[in-house]
Amino acid sequence: MKTQTLKIVRIGNSRGVRLPAAWISHYRLGERVIAEAHPKGLWLRPASDAGALSWEATARAMAAETRTHGDEFADLEVAATDGLDSLDR
User: Within a 13 Å sphere around the CA of 51, how many CA atoms are in the beta-carbon half?
Assistant: 1
Instruction: Provide the 3-class DSSP secondary structure of residue 73.
Output: coil
| Tens place of pLDDT per residue across the chain (89 aa) | 688 999 999 999 999 999 999 999 988 888 889 899 999 999 998 887 556 667 888 888 888 888 887 777 666 666 556 666 666 66
- Cα dihedral 59→64→70→72 (10° resolution): -30
Cβ atoms of 61 and 51 within 8 Å: the answer is: no
What does residue 26 show for φ and ψ, rounded to 5 degrees? -60, -45
Distance CA 61, CA 36 (A): 19
The percentage of the chain sitting over the pLDDT mark of 70, rounded to a whole number, equals: 74
Cβ atoms of 34 and 48 within 8 Å: the answer is: no
pTM over 0.85? The answer is no
The percentage of the chain sitting over the pLDDT mark of 90, rounded to a whole number, equals: 30
